[in-house]
Amino acid sequence: MTYSQMAAKFGWPSIIFSILLTPFALLWSKLIAFPVWLDIIYKHKPFYVLKSIYKYPEEKNFVKKNVYSGAVQHSIFPPMLDALNGFNCHADAEGGKWIESFYGFIHCMDMTTHDDRMIIEPNSMTVFPALVFIEYPQGTSGPGVHEHRVRFHFPIKGPNMLNPAMWVTLFIPLSGVMVFANMAIVRYFKKNGVSVHNTNMPKKEDPSFALEDGSIPFVPAFADSYGSIS
């Protein structure tokens, strides 16, 4: 992804702001909020925080094409004011990177792409570490129904859960996603028939179905349950 492409999605102010802030943000993340030295002593386990189910009736892989990989963002504010959107992202499949911004601060993660899933993992330049599975069904759950699942895991299960700096830092991406969701669902998702069902701290999926990379094949609900957010 070139700088001009990033500017179209995130805006030049966010790019400049992120370049200047990244060294300090990395020091804070690696030494205080998510200390690498503590993780060496006690290997923190993933904490399953959130599961989201996206449903969209009109176009297969709608969110992947228009939000994850789209050339522009679809929140209320334009790229020049990206900080007001809370959250923005771009899936760079060719480069193997997931690029995201929270309130205008951009950082990146590694991304492995398959036909039915995208796996996002932290790297040395990641400020907010997470393990995220974006899982698509092989087919559809019924005529005209398309959906996918996103599962968020944070590597904090252990001593670092008692670290107040970690919770303060984690509030930034979590609140950014919520701001984006409330804006996007009302203005862009709702207009295109997209609904989202979020489950906080969900039960783990059956581990016997897990693949080697930790992803789990997504089997959607039947078409007659489409649109339910209960």
How do residues 197-217 score in pLDDT, each as one tens digit?
888 889 888 888 899 899 998
Instruction: Determine the residue type at 28.
Output: W
Q: Evaluate if residue 3 carries a pLDDT over 90.
A: no
pLDDT of residue 81: 78
**Domain 3-204 architecture:** 2-Layer Sandwich (3.30)
Closest CA to 154 of 180, 173, 181, 134: 173
Q: What are the phi and psi torsion angles at 67 (to 5°)?
A: -110, -55
Q: Evaluate if residue 126 carries a pLDDT over 80.
A: yes
pLDDT of residue 74: 63
Order of strands across the sheet that contains 87-92: 87-92, 97-102, 105-113, 117-121, 131-135, 146-157, 45-56, 195-200
Closest CA to 174 of 34, 77, 50, 24: 50
Q: How many H helices and E strands in the chain? A: 5, 8
Least confident of 79-93, 113-127, 211-225: 211-225
Q: Evaluate if residue 75 carries a pLDDT over 70.
A: no
